[in-house]
A and B are shown apart, each in its own frame.
Chain A
Amino acid sequence: ETGVTQTPRHLVMGMTNKKSLKCEQHLGHNAMYWYKQSAKKPLELMFVYNFKEQTENNSVPSRFSPECPNSSHLFLHLHTLQPEDSALYLCASSHQDRATGANVLTFGAGSRLTVL
């Protein structure tokens, strides 16, 4: 366990379904992120939340809808997705490393999404 828990780990959905991905961290981090990882492509930042407020939306289509009810939980609501949205969706939270001052991401194990 990395401290960031994502559920479900695997999800198969049709294009007309509505589903949600959940991310939870109890590390005391104040920033949370959604990344998309597709095969042979760099990780793509989707959304950033700082203290529950969205600070980044990286031109993500509206069929992806994030929700951050508190600093420990982050959701990604999915509706009317396309087959090209099939990917590994990674959640992360971040803290400032005391030794280096760097903002270090702690990732979850991801939710593998397949859209049929």
Chain B
Amino acid sequence: AQKITQTQPGMFVQEKEAVTLDCTYDTSDQSYGLFWYKQPSSGEMIFLIYQGSYDEQNATEGRYSLNFQKARKSANLVISASQLGDSAMYFCAMREDNFGNEKLTFGTGTRLTIIP
């Protein structure tokens, strides 16, 4: 079974609008972490934001925020006031502690295109 599900293969959003990228996860661990990475066409994956499973408040980092709904096992990324430079692939990932060996599992990604 997939541990990270990103149901939106592609999205088109008007510049300056907010956008929500969906991510649901599956784990039986009590302690885990959720990440979002951005991959522009240049190839490198860029770390955006992190949410720990015990964090009570949603993580925020500039224009990025993570809408963490633990009971629903969702960790959606919200980008406010989108910019042309936000066009990229976005990956949700989950860290599970596997007998002290941290493993990061990625989703298949969402391609976001910002329209001027």
Chain A interface (Cβ < 8 Å from any Cβ of B): 2, 4, 9, 40-43, 45, 55-56, 88, 90, 92, 97, 100-110, 112
Complex A-B: 5 CB contacts under 8 Å: A2-B44, A43-B106, A88-B43, A106-B47, A107-B45
Complex CA gap A100/B47 in Å reads 13
Collect the chain B residues with CB atoms within 8 Å of residue A104's CB: 35, 47, 50
Evaluate contact between A100 and B103: CB separation under 8 angstroms.
no
Collect the chain A residues with CB atoms within 8 Å of residue B109's CB: 42
B17 at the interface (CB under 8 A from A): no
Complex CA gap A9/B43 in Å reads 10
Interface range, B side: 20 to 34
Evaluate contact between A102 and B103: CB separation under 8 angstroms.
no
Complex CA gap A45/B103 in Å reads 9
Number of A-B contacts (CB under 8 A): 56
Collect the chain A residues with CB atoms within 8 Å of residue B45's CB: 90, 92, 105, 107
Evaluate contact between B44 and A100: CB separation under 8 angstroms.
no
- Which residues of chain B in 2-56 are interfacial with respect to chain A, using CB atoms and an 8 Å cutoff? 4, 33, 35, 37, 42-47, 50, 52
- Top 6 nearest A-B pairs (CB, nearest first) are A107-B45, A43-B106, A109-B43, A110-B43, A109-B44, A102-B50
Collect the chain B residues with CB atoms within 8 Å of residue A107's CB: 37, 44-46
Evaluate contact between A103 and B102: CB separation under 8 angstroms.
yes
Task: Give B104-116 as 1s and 0s: 1 = Cβ < 8 Å from A's Cβ atoms.
Answer: 1111110000000
Evaluate contact between A42 and B42: CB separation under 8 angstroms.
no
B91 at the interface (CB under 8 A from A): yes
Collect the chain A residues with CB atoms within 8 Å of residue B37's CB: 105, 107
CB distance from B104 to the nearest CB of A (A): 7
Task: Give B47-73 as 1s and 0s: 1 = Cβ < 8 Å from A's Cβ atoms.
Answer: 100101000000100000000000000
Q: What residue in chain B is nearest A40 (Cβ atoms)? A: B108
Evaluate contact between B50 and A42: CB separation under 8 angstroms.
no
Collect the chain A residues with CB atoms within 8 Å of residue B106's CB: 42-43
